[in-house]
Every structure is written in structure tokens, then in C-alpha cells.
A and B are shown apart, each in its own frame.
Chain A
Amino acid sequence: MLNVRLAQRSPIPLDVELQCGPGELLALVGPSGSGKTSVLRAIAGLMPVLGGRVAIDDEVWLDSAQRVDVPAEKRPAGMVFQHYALFPHLSALANVSLALPHGARPETALRLLGDMQLDGLAGRRPHELSGGQRQRVALARALARSPKLLLLDEAFSAVDQPTRQALYDELVKLRERVGIPIVMVTHDLREARLLADRLCILEGGATLQDGPPEYVLSRPRNAHVAALVGLRDIHSGIFHRSADAKSPARLRWGDGEGIDLATVDKGRIDDGTPVRWVIAGEYVHLHLEAPGGVNVVACVIERAHRLGDITTLACRSIAPPHALVHVEVTTRQAREGAMVAQRAVFLRLDPEGIHIMPTRARDA
């Protein structure tokens, strides 16, 4: 289990606490300059940290209180860099061999390259390899030290989409094989959602929220996190508590005149509180005819944006607050349902999926 706590004000402000278990993949996500690469470098020992503790199992790599700071070259952590950082004058085999610990059998490097489907390419130098092959060499090199931890710094950002897909598959297989904590830095939420067991949202060097991807994406801690994780529809409203235990709470959608939505009262928000709220796509149901039940909102499709197999419909509520809700459907569904601009549709918002957040960004 990797345990990390970083707390310093300068030179780079960091306020991060994270854990990653064996075989688990933790994605550090955040905008540019959010400090995610700094966190990774601090874990690897490539960046001096004034305050914090980094330990894996019972091995302490950094403990500023105890003045422990194991140098990077002595921390058994494999790292894959954004541009791979392969040694350009060395062959793929030599790149991997160089990272083997003292006393390791030379054929280990060949086996590692073989595990990465690089048989026959051992003698090639980095400039003679494709982007995907270089990435595999970098992974093989990172594993050569039999690391206790694998760190991936935007490792998939420099390859084209088909190669990236193949590398995702490779990483999934690798996770099963090595069973060590993997910490991955990415700015690509889709990638994080696809690969990670847990997300850690960072901004300004501080953890804003962490948890399983589906949880963070459907239950962002606040409107700021919701915006950071790319949720497009962040609505405002006024929360009204349940009149009694049996009836649901009421959410007045909009700042003044608006639609009343039924929602769940968790007893944490006072009556009449202005709130921001989001709803994950899986809780929004689109109907061509008016369905029964609660939270049915009549809308008009304002735009239909086709992107391959997926079509995104921008639906605006007919009644105030005239808010936009983006709904993704398959392009086939859109075609068969004639879901084009100006078409009237009905959205049913599942009360379970309505996630209410405090209005102030740093709350909660």
C-alpha cells in the first residue's frame, strides 16, 4: 500500500494525501499547473519536498519529520515519462538492461521486452521505433528494477488514438501481472475513467476530491470540482427540505421562477439554501412522448451534434429557467427517433441522480 502525504507552501505549494493499494490504479487528474506531475515527481524522489511522508508498505522513502529522504535512485519505483525519456544512444535492450538491479540475469531484459511484444526489436535504438514501441520499451525499463510502485506521467499522451487503445489493453494486462500500486497522471478524463480504480482531482497542488471515477463524476464535491471533471451542465436552484419523512425534498430549478424537482433529502442542507446541482448522464432519461412519474421536463432540442457513433443533444427546458441539459444518445437512436433541432422531447431526471452541492467552490 502506497501512502503519500505532501504538505508544503514553497517552492511548489502541495497539500495532498493519497493512498494506492497493490494492483490498484490511481489517476491524478487536474488542469495544467494543478501540480499532478509534481506529486508524481515527489513520490519518485525527483523533486525535493520540505514537508511530507511517502511510504510503501513498511518502507519509508520520505519523512520530513524524521529527516528521512531516500534518493530517487534508491527508491524502487518504475517511472514512465511523458516523452518516454529513453536513452537515445542505447538500443531498446540496453535501455532496459541499464535499469536492471545488480546481479540480475541479462536475459531478464529480453524477457521484459518479450512481455511487451517487442521481440525482434531489442537491437533498435529509440529513433528506429514507433511511438507505441517506444512507450513499451519505457514500460519494460520501468519494470526492470522489479519496482514496488509504477508511476506513469501522461504516458499515453504522445501516441495516436489506435496505438493508445492498444496501450490501454497492455496496461490492463500489466496490472494483472505485476500487482503493484500504479499512480498515473493524466489530463484526459476519459482515459482516467477508463483505466483508473480511483481518481484524485487536484488543483493548485491540493486534493479537491478522490474516489472511484463513477462516484467523483456523479457526485462532485462542489461546483468547482464538477467543472474540473468536465461536467457541462452545472445548474443552480433553491433547496427545500422534505415536509415529512415520507415525502421527497424539493429542488426549485433556477434562481427565481423555475421547475420543481423531487430530490433526496440527506438532511445536510438547510431549507431555502441556494445550491448548485448536477446530474450524471445515466440518470437522465430521454423520451419522445411524455412519460409518467416525477421530474419530467418538457424540452426542445436546440442542437444535435454528431460525433461518430455518439450524438449529443442540447435540450433546453421550455418552462423557466430555460436551462440546457446535454444528453448523449447513440447516433442510430438519434436517427431513428428523428432527434434533430427544434424537435420536442421529454427528459425524466431520476431523483436519485440529482447531486446537490454547496454554492461556494471550496465548501464541503
Chain B
Amino acid sequence: MDWQSLRLSLWLAVATGLVLVPTGVLVGRWLARSSHPLKPVAEATLALPLILPPTVLGYYLLVALGGQSPVGQLYVSLVGHPLAFSFGGLLVASVIFNIPFAWIPTQRAFEAIPADLYDAARSCGLSRWRTLWRIELPLAWRGILSGLIMTIAHTLGEFGVVLMVGGSIPGETKTIAISIYDRVQAFDLQAAGSMSAILLVASLATLLATVWLTRTRPSVRSS
């Protein structure tokens, strides 16, 4: 059992969630209420990681974050080491490939809030900030939480993108999914089996939590 990889995967999942939840609230809320003509383009682009092969996404990220790219060079000048094959690079990749898992449920949750509640909030004298805290987030939290759970589960299980961008550096970029692959290659099926069981239970728990969150959703419309 590779506890170091499990810890790294969990830390990566939490960090990805910490980035994607607040940004998801901002972007999901904007997308939910926007009627901008480019909104469909934005939605399609953000959903790309859902259907793009992980190796393709990984390749583009590697190119974009590598030492030859402007982003990679900027990162080296600021931090002193390259972004690719580091935990930082892994986090950037993890954030990008999890965008649809975190943001789409959040957007749907904001879309489900009836427009007249926004009008009611304004006519009650609530500022935008108070409307967000007192009306929107309490009504949308299930969608946001659902997105967070999906993100964590997806990060724990991601293989292709992680391998392309991070390689397999123990303690730095070697996640539990890569560790399982390594153990199988080394014919250590017992360790691979116990780690796979952990991921299986985590995935099942995720799906159960998502089903529960959507089933117990109360009626948003008051009448």
C-alpha cells in the first residue's frame, strides 16, 4: 500500500477543490445569468475536458506549461523550477481537467434559482453581496457541493493527464492511480488490489452522495 501516493492524491484533490469551488461560484453564476452571444462557446470550451482524450489534454498542457512556453518560462523566472513534472504543474492540470465536473453542477444550481427571486432580493433592498450570501448560496449549495465531490473523486482516479504532465515522481507527482499502474507492472497485485479497492469505495461513495444530494433537493419555487 503506497500511503505517500494516497496522501499526495488526497492533497491534490483538496487543492483542486479549493481552487475550483470559489471560481466555479463566480463563473457558474455568471454563465447561469448571462445572455452573452459567446456564452455557448464558453460553455463548450469549458466542457471540453469531458470528451477530450486525457492524453490529448495532457499533451497540450505539457506544451503549454513546459520550459519552452511563455507560461513555463514565467513560472521558472518566478519560482526557480519548471512547472511541468512538479506538484504545481499537476495542480494546474488537475484544475483544468476538473473544470466541467466542478463548474457545470454549480452553473446548473444557479440556473435553477427562479429569476423572480433575484428581483425580490433587489426589491427587498439587498445588495449583490448579501443576495449571494443570503439567497443564492443557500439555494445553490447542493450543486456546489455536488461539483466538489465529483472533483475530488475524479482527481483521485485521474491517470492519463497526470502521467503526461507530472510523470511519476514519488512524493511530488506520483498519485495513487499511477501507483496502482506501477504495482501492476511490478506484479504486486495485492498492493494494486487494496489501492483499487480504496478508489472503488471512494467512487461509489461519490455517486451515492451525488444521488442523495439531487434526490433530497427541496422545491426551489415557493409556490
Contact = CB atoms under 8 A, between A and B. Distances in A.
Interface residues of A, number: 33
Contact of A73 (B114, B122, B134): B122
Contact of A98 (B116, B119, B134): B134
A144 B223 contact: no
B125 A131 contact: no
Contacts of B123: 44, 46, 72-73, 77-79, 142
A88 B125 contact: no
B120 interface: yes
Nearest to A94: B134
B127 interface: yes
Interface in A78-121: 78-79, 81-89, 98-99, 101
B221 A88 contact: yes
B125 A145 contact: yes
Q: Is the interface of A mostly helix, strand, loop or mixed?
A: loop
A138 to B, nearest CB: 8
Contact of B218 (A41, A79, A81, A88): A88
A88 B220 contact: yes
Contacts of B135: 87
Contacts of A81: 116, 119-120
Nearest to B222: A126
B117 interface: yes
Interface string B78-102: 0000000000000000000000000
B222 A88 contact: yes
A189 B116 CA distance: 25
Contact of B223 (A71, A79, A158): A158
A177 interface: no
A98 B34 CA distance: 26
Contacts of A99: 124-125
B37 interface: no
A82 B135 CA distance: 19
A24 to B, nearest CB: 21
B45 interface: no
Given A84-B223, A88-B218, A131-B223, A145 B124 contact: yes
Interface string B7-26: 00000000000000000000
Nearest to B117: A85
B219 interface: yes
A235 interface: no
Name the interface size band of chain B.
Answer: 20 to 34
B101 to A, nearest CB: 25
A79 to B, nearest CB: 4
B126 interface: yes
B110 to A, nearest CB: 14
Nearest to A81: B116
A221 interface: no
B223 A46 contact: no
A104 to B, nearest CB: 11
B125 A134 contact: no
A301 to B, nearest CB: 44
B120 A85 contact: yes
Interface in B102-161: 114, 116-117, 119-127, 134-135, 138-139
A87 B222 contact: yes
A96 to B, nearest CB: 9
B145 to A, nearest CB: 15
Given A88-B139, A88-B218, A98-B134, A83 B124 contact: no
B218 A87 contact: no
A87 B117 contact: yes
Interface string A340-361: 0000000000000000000000
A84 B222 contact: yes
Nearest to A74: B125
Nearest to A41: B119
Contacts of B126: 73, 98
B119 A73 contact: no
Nearest to B135: A87
A86 B138 CA distance: 14
Contacts of A86: 120, 222-223
16 contacts: A72-B123, A73-B122, A73-B123, A73-B124, A81-B120, A83-B116, A83-B223, A85-B116, A86-B120, A87-B222, A88-B220, A89-B138, A98-B134, A126-B222, A127-B218, A141-B120
Given A85-B120, A86-B223, 17 more contacts: A44-B123, A73-B121, A73-B123, A76-B125, A77-B123, A79-B123, A82-B116, A85-B117, A87-B117, A87-B120, A87-B134, A88-B139, A88-B219, A89-B138, A89-B139, A98-B126, A145-B124
- The list of the 10 closest CB pairs from A to B, nearest first, reads A126-B222, A85-B120, A99-B124, A85-B116, A72-B122, A79-B123, A86-B222, A88-B222, A83-B223, A73-B122
Interface of B: 114, 116-117, 119-127, 134-135, 138-139, 218-223
